[in-house]
Amino acid sequence: MKQHDRITRYSAPERINHWLVAICFVLAALSGLGFFFPSFNWLMGVLGTPQLARILHPFVGVVMFAAFMIMFFRYWRHNLINRDDLEWAKNIHKIAQNQEVGDTGRYNFGQKCVFWAAIVSLLLLLVSGIVIWRPWFAGSFPIPVIRLGLLVHSVSAVVLIVVIMVHIYAALWVKGTITAMVEGWVSASWAKKHHPRWYRAIRAKQTPPPQQDKGP
Which positions are annotated as active-site residues?
167
CA angle 42, 46, 47 (to 5 degrees): 110
- E strands of the chain, at which residues? 6-8, 185-187
For residue 145, what are the CA distances in angstroms to 141, 149, 151, 166? 6, 6, 10, 31
Alpha carbon distance 92, 100 (integer Å):
10
Alpha carbon distance 167, 119 (integer Å):
14
Give Cα 149 to chain centroid, integer Å: 24
Alpha carbon distance 106, 161 (integer Å):
24
Q: Give the burial class of 209: count Cβ atoms within 10 A of its Cβ; 0-12 exposed, 13-18 middle, 19 or more buried.
A: exposed
Give the H/E segment covering residue 86. helix 83-90
